[in-house]
Amino acid sequence: MDIVIENLTKKYGAQRAVDNISFKVKTGEILGFLGPNGAGKTTTMKMITNYISVGEGEINIGGNSIKKDPDELKKHIGYLPENNPLYHEMPVIDYLEFCASLQGVEKSKIQERIREMVIKCGLNAEKHKKIAELSKGYRQRVGLAQAMIHDPEILILDEPTTGLDPNQIVEIRKLIRDLGKEKTVILSTHILPEVEATCDRILIINRGKIVADGTSETLRAQAQGQEVLKIKIEDAESSEIESALKNLDSVEKVKSLSEKGAFEIESKSGSSSKRAVFESCVKNKWVLTEMIPYETKLEDIFRNLTVN
């Protein structure tokens, strides 16, 4: 099921929590939803899951407007809200059964679904405990299990890996990636490496508006513009190297670093100086010991787009 969002706006009083955003998520795609606190991520997710009503604009799920038959559409959505609220007094199994029956899973299949979720989310040892007795990581797993119990076509996960230990994070990411092959997944997070590790596409929003949309590679390419290399050359005087580098056609700027023989080279936009640097080293019989391309980190992109 596709999710198509058109000109979505939600106002709280005079403040626009979500301001005229449009995007599309296809089946089999995992969309990473990024943004600083209060950017409108959670509000958008709440609208998709029908917790709050759509302000202006339209959300279509599988071709049907969410305004028309919300209760029917909700059956196809699995939702893990922010802060993972759960009924603490209930045992894990009972809770999953409650969620399954509310989501309209057939009675005969409920037990089977619960068994599958318990195994998938690694809850086997804890399944008879009350939720209040579980650690935060296990509660997070219960939250994920309840979101997936009815095998929904759409998964909306608001910060799914908070509170998990590194091993669990790897497991949950793998689980999400596996699920994402056949389902439509939107996940929000603050953890940037997580987006790169799990998501096919990244959407960055700030102050209710979309500021970037694309894969991590395309975002990088957009943000980067010029190639920056760090190189280190031995067996030569620094000044000699610097002037040789400056004479290369593709080089725009050369900066000498404090380390002996180390330089930072900025290439002219659209060109690469890697080959030229190597060839000039060969010609001069210098030893090239380091050449590191500086990648624009997702953190930098995020900061550039969201710091006002």
Partner 1 sequence: MNAIWIISKRELQSFFDSLIAYIMLVAFLGFSGFFTWLYGQDIFLIGQTSLRGFFSIAYWTLFFFIPALTMRLLAEEKKTGTIELLLTKAVSDREVVLGKFLATLLLICIALVFTIPYVITLSNIGNLDLGATICGYLGLVMMSITYIGIGIYASSITNNQIVAFLLALFIGLFFHIIFDVLAPNFTGWLGEIFVFMSLSTHFESISRGVLDTKDIIYFLSLGAVGILLVELSLAKRNLNS
- Does position 198 interact with partner 1 (CB under 8 A)? The reply is no
Task: Give the binding range for partner 1 (CB under 8 A) out of 44-52, 116-124, 200-208, 224-232.
Answer: 44-52
- Does position 4 interact with partner 1 (CB under 8 A)? The reply is no
- Applying CB under 8 A, among 66, 77, 145, 154 the residue interacting with partner 1 is 77
- Applying CB under 8 A, among 53, 222, 243, 289 the residue interacting with partner 1 is 53
- Applying CB under 8 A, among 6, 22, 28, 51 the residue interacting with partner 1 is 51
Distance CA(217)–CA(198), nearest Å, equals 14
Q: How many CB atoms lie within 10 A of CB 273?
A: 24
Task: Give the binding range for partner 1 (CB under 8 A) out of 76-84, 188-196, 265-273, 283-291.
Answer: 76-84
- Does position 98 interact with partner 1 (CB under 8 A)? The reply is yes
Q: How far is the CB of 143 from partner 1 (least distance, A)?
A: 9
Q: How far is the CB of 45 from partner 1 (least distance, A)?
A: 10
Which residues here bind partner 1, judged by CB under 8 A? 12-13, 17, 43, 46, 49-53, 70-72, 74-75, 77, 79, 81, 83, 85-90, 94, 98-99, 101-104, 146
